[in-house]
A and B are shown apart, each in its own frame.
Chain A
Amino acid sequence: MEFFSSLLEQMSTAYDLLVAGWGVQLLWGIGWTLAVTTVSMVIGAVLGSLVAAAKLSHLGRLRFLGESYTTVFRGEPELLIIYLFYYGGTQVLTGVARSTGSIGPTDIVNMPSFLGGVLAVGIISGAYQAEVFRGSFLAIHRGELEAARAYGMSAWLRFRLVIMPQVLRLAVPGLGNVWQLTIKDSALISVTGVAELMLTANKAARSTHHSLLFYTVAGILYLVMTSISTPIFDRAERYTSRSFLRPK
Chain B
Amino acid sequence: MDYDFYLSTMWSVLKALPLTLEIWFFGIAFGLVIATGLTWLRASGYKSGEYFTRAYVFVFRGSPLLVQLYLIYFGLSQFDFVRHSPILWPILRDPMYCTIVAMALNTAAYESEIFRGALKAVPVGQIEAAKAFGMSAFTRFRIVTLPIALRLALPAYSTEIILMTKATALASVVTIMEMMGTAQKIQHDTFRPIEVLTCAGVIYLLLNLSIARLFAWVEYLLSPHLRPAPDQSQRIKPVPEVL
Contacts and interface: CB of A to CB of B under 8 A. Distances in A.
The reply to whether chain A is a binding partner of chain B is: yes
Interface of A: 71-72, 75-80, 83-84, 87-88, 90-92, 180, 183-185, 187-188, 190-191, 198, 201-202, 205, 210-212, 215-216, 218-219, 222-223, 226-227
A223 B58 CA distance: 8
Interface residues of B, number: 41
A80 B66 contact: no
A184 B67 CA distance: 9
B78 A211 contact: yes
Interface of B: 58-59, 62-68, 70-71, 74-76, 78-79, 162, 165-170, 172-173, 180, 183-184, 187, 191-194, 197-198, 200-201, 204-205, 208-209
A80 B169 contact: yes
B78 A212 contact: yes
Contact of B67 (A78, A210, A215): A215
B62 A91 contact: no
Contacts of A215: 67, 70-71, 74-75
Given A88-B194, A91-B194, A222-B64, A212 B75 contact: yes
Contacts of B187: 83, 87
Given A87-B193, A92-B194, A76 B166 contact: yes
A188 B64 contact: yes
A91 B205 contact: no
A88 B208 CA distance: 23
A91 B191 CA distance: 8
B59 A84 contact: no
B65 A184 contact: yes
A183 B65 CA distance: 12
A77 to B, nearest CB: 3
B213 to A, nearest CB: 12
A185 to B, nearest CB: 8
Nearest to A184: B64
Q: Which 8 A-B pairs have the closest CB atoms?
A: A77-B169, A87-B193, A187-B64, A211-B74, A212-B75, A222-B63, A184-B64, A215-B71
B66 A219 contact: no
B66 A188 contact: yes
B19 to A, nearest CB: 14
A202 B191 CA distance: 26
A212 B63 CA distance: 15
B184 A83 contact: yes
A198 B64 contact: yes
B201 A84 contact: yes
Contacts of B74: 205, 211-212, 215
A215 B73 CA distance: 10
A84 B197 CA distance: 6
A57 B59 CA distance: 40
A78 B70 contact: no
B73 to A, nearest CB: 9
9 contacts: A76-B201, A77-B168, A91-B194, A198-B64, A201-B67, A202-B70, A211-B74, A212-B78, A223-B59
Contacts of A219: 59, 63, 67-68, 71
B197 A83 contact: yes
Given A219-B67, A223-B62, A76 B205 contact: yes
Given A75-B209, A80-B200, A198 B193 contact: no
Contacts of B79: 212
Given A215-B75, A216-B75, A223-B58, A78 B166 contact: yes
B67 A211 contact: no
Contacts of A227: 58, 62
Given A91-B192, A216-B75, A75 B67 contact: no
B62 A75 contact: no
Given A212-B75, A219-B63, A90 B180 contact: no
B64 A84 contact: no
Contacts of B70: 201-202, 205, 211, 215
B208 A212 contact: no
A172 to B, nearest CB: 20
Contact of B204 (A75, A211, A212, A216): A75
